[in-house]
Amino acid sequence: MKIDVIIETGFDKRFEAVIDPDKEYGLSFGLFGEGHSVQECIDDFHESVSEMKEYYVKNGKEFPDDLEFSFKYDIASFLAHYSDMLSLSGLEKITGINQRQLSHYLNGVKKPRQETIQKIETGIHRFASELSQVNFV
């Protein structure tokens, strides 16, 4: 079963990974990860999975073996994670979204509409595609 896990910016500028609350997966348990970096957060989430599986086995319960996780960012956590690699000025050029608006998303002042999220995602994917074709001599 494929489960979407949302990476969010949490308390104290830490990252949190939680199962998408907008989807019903029929699981009888929750999973959570946190860390100072996205990778640390994802690693902690996987540790949570291991601990839950161990708990289920210890208590004679069956743990689903077919869990597959797809990690997705909310806009604020994406901007926070990549802010030292991509400036808001650069992201404006990539996405067509005004720097001030991106700053509002980064700082949690505003939440983007679904069409804005799609515009940002499309711009990032287009930029990544361009980068993947770069060759040096």
CATH of the domain at 103: 1.10.260
Domain count, the chain: 2
For 57, the domain range is: 2-73
Same domain, 9 and 63: yes
pLDDT tens string for the chain (137 positions)? 999 999 998 778 799 999 998 899 999 899 999 999 999 999 999 999 999 999 999 999 999 989 999 999 999 889 988 988 999 999 999 999 999 999 999 988 999 999 999 999 999 999 999 999 999 99
Last residue of a domain, one of 73, 89, 119: 73
Same domain, 68 and 94: no
CA distances from 20 to 2, 14, 57, 94, 100 (A): 11, 18, 25, 27, 28
Tokens for 65?
């073996």
- pTM for this structure? 0.83
Q: Distance (Å, rounded) from C-alpha 78 to C-alpha 45?
A: 17
Same domain, 69 and 81: no
Last residue of a domain, one of 73, 94, 118: 73
Q: Which residues contact 49 (CB under 8 A, 6 or more apart)?
A: 31, 67, 69
